[in-house]
Amino acid sequence: MNKTSKVLGLALAMGLMSTPLVFAKYTEGPVSGGGTIKGKVSFKGDQPGPTEFKLAQWPQAEFCGKFDAVDGIRKRQDIRVKDGGLGDVVVYIEEIKSGKPFEKTEAKFVSDGCRFLVAEGEGPSRKVTVILNAKKSGKKPTIKVLNMDADPSDPKTASGILHNPHGYEVKGVLTKTTFNKPVPNKDQEITLKIKKTWFKKKESFLLIECDQHNYMNVWAIPARNPYYAVVNDDGTFSIGDVPPGKYTLKAFHPKLRFQTMEVTVAGGAETEANFEYAAK
């Protein structure tokens, strides 16, 4: 390297060191002339049967067998189809710089009948919801998990059945622990701050699983902006107040995973966007 190159390299390095790193965060503000994305997530074919779990393999089999179970077999319907529409899907715009404000920054979950569920009233689905990406949203989002389980007939668990919400960041076949907190008592609630180091990669999502009862699962997409919708039971959805422009629209189902399409939104108009899944 000659002397001139060294001087230029040093100047560039000094410039980078003196320039603050700027990470693009979503900016909230009024939307004028926004459009709407409407559509339906469909499922091709008949609804598959439920996933089955032999509860005797885990603690509190008798108590847990009172919920969604027959003869000690928990039956969990992971793919729900109604009128040809697929439920338990989140549809969202992947990247958008600015637009309408966030409606909420907290996601609530419960353990109820040895099931991890999205809290009642949080949306159309009890299996999948939205959390916020702390870095990209510019917010300080949280997750709450409430234990509602106790078995009065068993002195050992009369005050509460131990559940252990274990959060995983999932990307493809890779998983990484984000949190791992026990909730041993009934009506005990934990609050967790979503860290900026979580969910750096696109198409990563949150899986919460109980370390005591591995069939207890619930899922969430870490949204980077407020342009998302959890679909209705029949797969229909609507996302409003979208600034005119071209966007990447994604759909996520916990078992069937991701689909992607490109959409163009015009001011004051409706844009139709339909997804179709099939059994793998």
pLDDT given for residue 200 in this prediction: 95
The confidence band for 21, taking pLDDT boundaries of 50, 70 and 90, is very low
Confidence label for 9 from pLDDT (cuts 50, 70 and 90): very low
Query: Is the predicted pLDDT of residue 5 greater than 70, yes or no?
Result: no
Report the pLDDT value the prediction gives residue 182, as an integer from 0 to 100.
97
Res 11: pLDDT: 45
Name the residue among 263, 223, 185 with its Cα closest to residue 90: 223
| pLDDT band, very low/low/confident/very high, at 24 (cuts 50, 70, 90) | confident
pLDDT in tens, 117-142: 999 999 999 999 999 999 999 999 99
Give the predicted TM-score (pTM) of the model.
0.91
Whether the per-residue pLDDT at 20 is higher than 90: the answer is: no
The fold adopted by the segment(s) 28-278 is Immunoglobulin-like (2.60.40)
Phi, psi of 152 (to 5 degrees): -60, -20
Q: Residue 187: what pLDDT?
A: 98
Report which of 23, 27, 45 is spatially closest to residue 256, judged by C-alpha positions. Answer: 45
4 pLDDT above the threshold of 70: no
Q: Give the 3-state secondary structure of residue 10.
A: helix
Q: What is the pLDDT of the chain when averaged over all its residues? A: 93
Binning pLDDT at 50, 70 and 90, where does residue 62 land?
A: very high
> How does strand 73-76 pair with strand 51-54?
antiparallel
| Domain boundaries along the sequence of the chain | 28-278
Q: Residue 31: is its pLDDT beyond 70?
A: yes
Q: Which percentage of the chain shows pLDDT scores above 90?
A: 91
Over range 199-228, report the average pLDDT: 98
Question: How many C-beta atoms surround the C-beta of residue 4 within 10 A?
Answer: 8
Taken as a whole, the chain contains a residue count of 280
pLDDT at 22 over 50: no
Q: What is the mean pLDDT of residues 189-216?
A: 98
Cβ burial, residue 36 (10 Å; 0-12/13-18/19+): middle
H-assigned helices in 133-232: 134-137
pLDDT at res. 23: 52
> Between residues 243 and 24, which one has the greater pLDDT?
243
What integer pLDDT is reported at residue 16 of this predicted model? 41
Residue 59 has pLDDT above 70, yes or no: yes
What is the mean predicted confidence (pLDDT) over 47-56?
Answer: 97
Q: Does position 143 have pLDDT exceeding 60, yes or no? A: yes
